[in-house]
């Protein structure tokens, strides 16, 4: 047999394939990096504006995106590590830290409205709930300026738990966004029961990059986004298009009825947010 053509499936039981070994080693390194960042308090939020489609000079809210720094000081975005840590205890710790930093930003800036990402797995995590309750006890008005984003895949792992969780906290004024909508994991029988405030196609309806990039010249994606906006309007949800990078795409999304836009055209995520300046604060709302 030509060993070069030997399939991974032919490797005898008990012997780890080179691919699996590489993946487990990589994931182990990521877990170690995140654990060290948490231990040494090397975590921060990057803030990206979500602007009104009909008037991009006005910011509807900001999204707080989790970042960690490694031992070299390099800033690492959540997309590089959350898929590895989300189902672990480190994922719960990351959610607690993101919530804590987001609530502190809301507390320090009364004009700010902010969305923070969380996993449905954190719903039963005591430290997450205690963090939220402690800040709301300090200032109950934080709730009406807080948006919690839950991914479609995460919500569908425990849909009944998510529905109950949202019912309880929406009564306190918190809004909820369904992130990554359109990935195909939401059962329609649950969708009408969720009562998300925002539908991101990618909650507000957040429309992700696969539908947005180049939409100005793509009739198929225009039709899909038009349908998504119709669904959002039927369920009284606000819509946000993500990954907006060109004015042509922004103009098309506005003409399709999308409420808000997020992407590099209107601002990259930054750990030094513009809303710390008086001019930016006055533009919110």
d(CA 46, CA 87) in angstroms, rounded, equals 23
Average pLDDT in the chain: 84
Supply the range of the domain harboring residue 246.
Answer: 40-283
Q: Are strands 55-69 and 114-118 parallel, antiparallel or unpaired?
A: parallel
Residue 218 has pLDDT above 60, yes or no: yes
The helix-helix angle for 126-138 and 89-108 (nearest 10°) equals 10
What are 32-56's pLDDT values in tens digits?
999 999 999 999 999 999 999 999 9
DSSP lists the bridge partners of residue 263 as none
Going along the chain, which residue ranges are E strands?
Answer: 43-52, 55-69, 75-77, 114-118, 146-151, 175-179, 198-200, 205-207, 238-241, 260-262
247 in any annotated domain: yes
Closest of 204, 122, 118, 115 to residue 161, by C-alpha: 122
Q: Domain with 229 in it: what CATH number?
A: 3.20.20.450
pTM across the whole model = 0.84
Residue with tokens 């060993």: 3
26 in any annotated domain: no
For 150, half-sphere exposure in the C-beta direction (CA atoms, 13 angstrom radius) is 25
Task: DSSP for 167-193, please give it.
Answer: HHHHTTT-EEEEETTTSS---HHHHHH
Residue with tokens 């807080």: 146
8 in any annotated domain: no
Tell me the pLDDT band of 176, cut-offs 50, 70 and 90: very high
Q: Which of helix, strand or coil describes residue 96?
A: helix
252 in any annotated domain: yes
Burial class (CB in 10 A: 0-12, 13-18, 19+), 200: buried
The helix-helix angle for 89-108 and 18-39 (nearest 10°) equals 40
31 in any annotated domain: no
Count: domains in the chain = 1
What are 110-127's pLDDT values in tens digits?
999 999 999 999 999 999
Q: What's the confidence (pLDDT) of residue 19?
A: 40
- Gyration radius of the chain over CA positions: 20
48 in any annotated domain: yes
124 in any annotated domain: yes
d(CA 220, CA 163) in angstroms, rounded, equals 33
Bigger pLDDT: 181 vs 28: 28
| The two three-digit tokens of residue 20, written as one number | 């699996």
d(CA 209, CA 192) in angstroms, rounded, equals 24
DSSP lists the bridge partners of residue 156 as none
34 in any annotated domain: no
Cβ proximity of 205 and 211 under 8 Å? no
Q: What's the confidence (pLDDT) of residue 6?
A: 41
């Amino acid at each position: 047999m030509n060993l070069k053509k030997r399939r991974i499936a032919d490797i005898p039981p008990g012997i780890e394939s080179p691919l699996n070994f590489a993946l487990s080693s990589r994931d182990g390194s990521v877990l170690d990096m995140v654990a060290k960042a948490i231990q040494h308090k090397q975590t921060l939020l990057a803030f990206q504006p979500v602007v009104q489609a009909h008037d991009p000079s006005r910011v509807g809210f900001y999204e707080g995106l989790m970042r960690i720094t490694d031992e070299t000081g390099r800033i690492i975005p959540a997309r590089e590590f959350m898929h590895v840590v989300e189902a672990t205890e480190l994922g719960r710790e990351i959610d607690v830290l993101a919530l804590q930093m987001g609530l502190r930003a809301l507390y320090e800036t009364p004009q700010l409205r902010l969305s923070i990402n969380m996993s449905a797995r954190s719903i039963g995590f005591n430290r997450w709930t205690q963090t939220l309750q402690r800040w709301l006890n300090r200032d109950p008005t934080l709730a009406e300026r807080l948006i919690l984003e839950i991914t479609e895949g995460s919500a569908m792992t425990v849909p009944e738990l998510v529905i109950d969780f949202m019912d309880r906290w929406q009564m306190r004024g918190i809004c909820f966004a369904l992130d990554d909508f359109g990935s195909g994991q939401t059962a329609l029988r649950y969708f009408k029961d969720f009562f998300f405030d925002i539908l991101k196609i990618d909650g507000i309806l957040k429309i992700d990059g696969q539908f947005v990039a180049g939409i100005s010249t793509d009739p198929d994606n225009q039709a899909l986004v038009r349908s998504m906006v119709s669904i959002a309007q039927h369920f009284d949800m606000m819509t946000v298009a993500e990954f907006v990078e060109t004015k042509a795409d922004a103009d098309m999304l506005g003409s399709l009825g999308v409420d808000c836009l997020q992407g590099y055209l209107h601002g990259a995520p930054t750990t030094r947010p513009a809303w710390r300046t008086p001019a930016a604060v006055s533009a919110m709302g």
